[in-house]
Each structure stands twice: as structure tokens, then as C-alpha cells.
């Protein structure tokens, strides 16, 4: 087999065979095919697309390029959740204990933040003592005894995806639906869950700017998962503004605590109940999404959900008294309000720019080696559709420096006020097959 024949076949709109896909993934991972030939192939895929079968073959080939994780020693149906990335996306901290409170085993592997999106690991680490780096055995034991564990990405999962993603980043080929779908699904499937719930974000702050593309991506991923024998569902959710009120590590932990107690922000609560219902159904703990939602609301109301968060924090070495005393979480030295310059309705909050502002306060990383400040960030007081009077606070900046003129100017550019505005729809669609 020759790589140049594979490139020409795809360039001319042909369908690649399983063997051809395995050939280029294996040889590229082993360094036997140069970047320039794979760049040409990626561009051909970008323009010609892939059939569902090609996309599934690509995913399988990437899974088998490295280690996979075996969760079979954990009892029950393990359900994973994946978000395509957002700003102030506090969902994992809420969802993990919430669905675990219903007896769904949660073995969650999550990442750190880079750029304008925050990472779940950094958020958990803002809890004094919390340890995210567990050994594989500690991780599995904890799920079996406590029903929930969260671990940093470990091992050599999908090396083919690491190489391909880096190449796509510099060759203008990131935004291809089959390439994104196989990249995400290979990582999820290699991590060993029996079932997967996908949160595909749509809007200005997301990869997929339109509903149509978000739906195509969701369908592609749901098909891959189900064809490989892992039950998979997806939702399409709005990312035209940050999720919830808080953006920042300790601030989002506090927001998660509020949500698990039943008084979190409306959009975050709705997203968590929607994703959580799918997880509970996939895990076989409820027959319908409605029944699952009722059960989730019940564990929030009777306190079992918040108790599970305490169990999780304690099991991973953290100080679980922060749940009853959030004031023990790291707190920034200064709280500065951003006041509205005019009256009206908030019509737009540019999510990715707000994320960059939070990062510049120290809540995120510009490069992989930056150190995150757990205490800083932004808490919104107004969301899209809310009425605001001149001089009212739009948001609070939590900062360890008083030099905030540049950040304030930037935040004013993120928030638009006009004569009328309506609240965006949060859940655009639910995709089960
Ligand atoms: N996230 C991924 O993991 N891969 C992509 O291709 C895009 C987003
Ligand atoms: Ca949030």
C-alpha cells in the first residue's frame, strides 16, 4: 500500500477501505509517514468528507494506536460525559456527585484548562488538599467503595489523535466534522466507559457556530458510539454566553455547591438535569428521561447529592468542610464591581472574550506551564435577557491585583445592552439515535 494512492483516492472523492485507514494511522503514529503527506490527506478529508463507515474505522484505528483503559473491575454500567468545551462550564463538578447519588458508578477522567476554557481538574484542586492524580488502582477502588472518582488524564491514550490534532491545528483542518467526531470519540472510547453522553455546544463561543453543524457533529458521534457497541446520546446546548454565573476555579466550586443544594443558576441547573437524565437512563437506573429527572430532583431536595460531593472530596484527600463553609475556599483580595453605563436589557455576553478576561486575572493558562490562581475570576449578575439599570452591577471581578483598568475596558466590550433582548434557549436538541 502507498500513502500517495490513498491521498489521491480521497482527493477524488473515493471511499477509503478499513485497511487503508488502518495503514495510514499506524504508519503515521510510528513516524513512518511524513507530516506533509498526512497534511495533504487531512485537507482532502476536509473537502471530501467521510462516510459513517470511514469515520467509525478512523475512530477504531485511533483507539488502537495506544493504551486503552479497562474499567471492567468496576461493577455496574459506567457512563462518561463529554463537553465540546465552554466558558464557566461547571457541569462536571455538579454531575459527578449528582448521578453517583443515584448509584450510577462515575469514573471520570478530566482535563486541565488551556486558553479561554477552564479545566475541571483545576477547579477541583481549588479545594484545599484535593488530589486529582490517583493511581489507576486507587481510582478503581474509590469508584467501587464510594461510587465516584475524578482523575487527571493518564497513560498513553490515543497517540494518533495527539499527533493528528497538532497537525490539524497548523494546517487549517480542525473544523471538519468527521475529524472532530473521530478525535473526541476515540478518546472517550479508549477511556473505557460503557455508555457516553455528549454535550455539543453551539454558538459564538463554540467550535460549531451553527445548529446545523452542531447537529451533524452530534449525529456522527452518536453513530460511532452506538456502532461500536457503546450506548451514546447527545444534546445540543447553547454557548452564546457563559454558563451559570461563575467563571473561575473556587468560584465555580461554590456555584456547584449551590446547584447541588438546589439553588444554582437556572441554566446550569437545567443543563445538569438534562445531561444527568441521559446518564441515569443509559446506566439503567430509570426507564425514561422524565423518571430520571424526577429522581435527580429528589436527591437534590433530600440532600443526598450534596452529601455525595462531601464523600468525593474526602476520598480524594480534600477538606470536605468547604461544602458547609464555602468561605474556607480560596478568596481573592479584591472584589470590584463593573457598573452598567446605561439602562436597558443585556442582549449579548461574548463567552470566549469573558473567558480570556478570567484567564488574564489568573484563573486559566496562556501556556501549559502557567500556574493557576484558584481564587480569582468573574461572577456575572446579569445574563442575556435580564433588565439592567444604569449604575447597577453587571458583574463582580475577583482579583488579587487592584490594577484592573485594562480588564474592565475589555469586559465592557463583551457585554452589550440594548432596548430589548430575550433569554436564549439553552437546550436546542436531544439526539438519541
Ligand atoms: N476536541 C477534540 O478533542 N478534538 C477535536 O478535533 C475538536 C475538539
Ligand atoms: Ca459557571
**Residue 115 confidence class, pLDDT cut points 50, 70, 90:** low
- How many Å lie between the centroid of ligand 1 and the Cα of residue 263? 33
Intra-chain end-to-end CA distance of the chain, in Å:
36
Partner residues linked to 238 by β-bridges: 202
Give pLDDT, residue 21: 98
Q: Residues 326, 329, 335, 340: is their CA dihedral positive or negative?
A: negative
Sheet with 79-83, side-by-side order of all strands: 79-83, 195-202, 231-238, 427-431
Candidates 349, 333, 331, 330; CA nearest to 395 is 349
**Three-state SS at 77:** coil
Q: What is the tens place of the pLDDT at every residue in 390-417? A: 999 999 999 999 999 999 999 999 999 9
By most ligand atoms within 8 Å of CB, the mutation choice from 188, 191, 207, 217 for ligand 1 is 207
Instruction: State the catalytic residue, choosing from 108, 112, 116, 187.
Output: 187
- Specify the pTM: 0.91
> Which residue has cell 473561575?
248
**Residue 206 confidence class, pLDDT cut points 50, 70, 90:** confident
Instruction: State the catalytic residue, choosing from 10, 82, 293, 308.
Output: 82
Closest-approaching ligand to the CA atom of 377: 2
Rounded to an integer, the average pLDDT of 15-25 is: 98
Look over the chain and give the mean of its residue pLDDT values, rounded to a whole number: 94
Q: What is the tens place of the pLDDT at every residue in 317-348? A: 999 999 999 999 999 999 999 999 999 999 99
pLDDT at 349 over 80: yes
- How many Å lie between the centroid of ligand 2 and the Cα of residue 355? 11
Residue 202 near residue 236 (C-beta atoms within 8 A): yes
- How many Å lie between the centroid of ligand 2 and the Cα of residue 259? 10
The verdict on whether 183 is a catalytic residue reads yes
Nearest CA to ligand 1 atom 7: 180
**Atom of ligand 1 minimally distant from the CA of 168:** 6
**Residue 116 confidence class, pLDDT cut points 50, 70, 90:** low
Rounded to an integer, the average pLDDT of 77-103 is: 92
pLDDT at 85 over 90: no
Closest-approaching ligand to the CA atom of 198: 1
- Report how far residue 125's alpha carbon sits from residue 121's, in angstroms, rounded to the nearest whole number: 6
Ligand 1 within 6 A of CB of 25: no
Nearest CA to ligand 1 atom 2: 184
pLDDT at 154 over 80: no
- How many Å lie between the centroid of ligand 1 and the Cα of residue 187? 9
- Report how far residue 89's alpha carbon sits from residue 149's, in angstroms, rounded to the nearest whole number: 19
Amino acid at each position: 500500500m502507498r500513502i500517495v494512492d490513498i491521498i489521491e483516492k480521497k482527493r477524488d472523492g473515493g471511499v477509503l477501505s478499513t485497511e487503508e485507514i488502518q495503514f495510514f494511522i499506524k504508519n503515521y503514529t510510528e513516524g513512518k509517514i511524513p507530516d506533509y503527506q498526512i497534511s495533504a490527506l487531512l485537507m482532502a478529508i476536509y473537502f471530501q468528507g467521510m462516510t459513517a463507515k470511514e469515520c467509525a474505522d478512523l475512530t477504531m484505528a485511533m483507539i488502537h494506536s495506544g493504551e486503552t483503559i479497562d474499567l471492567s473491575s468496576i461493577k455496574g454500567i459506567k457512563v462518561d460525559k463529554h463537553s465540546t468545551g465552554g466558558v464557566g462550564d461547571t457541569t462536571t463538578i455538579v454531575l459527578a456527585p449528582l448521578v453517583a447519588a443515584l448509584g450510577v458508578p462515575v469514573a471520570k477522567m478530566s482535563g486541565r484548562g488551556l486558553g479561554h476554557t477552564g479545566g475541571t481538574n483545576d477547579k477541583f484542586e481549588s479545594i484545599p488538599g484535593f488530589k486529582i492524580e490517583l493511581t489507576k488502582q486507587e481510582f478503581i477502588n474509590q469508584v467501587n467503595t464510594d461510587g465516584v472518582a475524578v482523575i487527571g488524564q493518564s497513560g498513553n491514550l490515543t497517540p494518533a489523535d495527539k499527533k493528528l490534532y497538532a497537525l490539524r491545528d497548523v494546517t487549517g483542518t480542525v473544523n471538519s466534522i468527521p475529524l472532530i467526531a473521530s478525535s473526541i470519540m476515540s478518546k472517550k472510547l479508549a477511556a473505557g466507559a460503557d455508555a457516553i453522553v455528549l454535550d455539543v455546544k453551539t454558538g459564538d463561543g463554540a467550535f460549531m457556530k451553527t445548529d446545523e453543524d452542531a447537529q451533524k457533529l452530534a449525529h456522527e458521534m452518536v453513530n460511532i458510539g452506538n456502532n461500536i457497541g457503546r450506548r451514546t446520546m447527545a444534546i445540543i446546548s447553547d454557548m452564546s454566553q457563559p454558563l451559570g454565573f461563575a467563571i473561575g476555579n473556587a468560584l465555580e466550586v461554590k456555584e456547584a455547591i449551590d446547584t447541588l443544594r438546589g439553588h444554582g443558576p437556572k441554566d446550569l441547573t437545567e443543563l445538569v438535569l438534562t445531561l444527568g437524565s441521559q446518564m441515569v437512563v443509559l446506566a439503567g437506573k430509570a426507564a425514561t428521561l422524565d423518571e430520571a429527572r424526577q429522581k435527580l430532583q429528589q436527591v437534590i431536595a433530600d440532600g443526598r447529592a450534596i452529601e455525595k460531593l462531601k464523600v468525593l472530596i474526602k476520598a480524594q484527600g480534600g477538606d470536605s468542610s468547604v461544602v458547609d463553609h464555602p468561605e474556607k475556599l480560596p478568596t481573592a483580595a479584591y472584589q470590584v464591581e463593573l457598573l452598567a453605563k446605561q439602562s436597558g436589557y443585556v442582549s449579548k455576553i461574548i463567552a470566549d472574550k469573558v473567558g480570556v478576561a478570567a484567564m488574564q486575572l489568573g484563573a486559566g493558562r496562556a501556556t501549559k506551564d502557567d500556574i493557576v490562581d484558584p481564587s480569582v475570576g468573574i461572577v456575572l449578575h446579569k445574563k442575556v435577557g435580564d433588565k439592567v439599570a444604569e449604575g447597577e452591577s453587571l458583574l463582580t471581578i475577583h482579583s488579587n491585583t487592584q490594577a484592573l483598568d485594562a480588564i474592565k475596558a475589555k469586559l465592557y466590550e463583551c457585554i452589550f445592552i440594548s432596548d430589548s433582548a430575550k433569554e436564549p434557549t439553552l437546550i436546542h436538541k436531544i439526539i438519541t439515535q
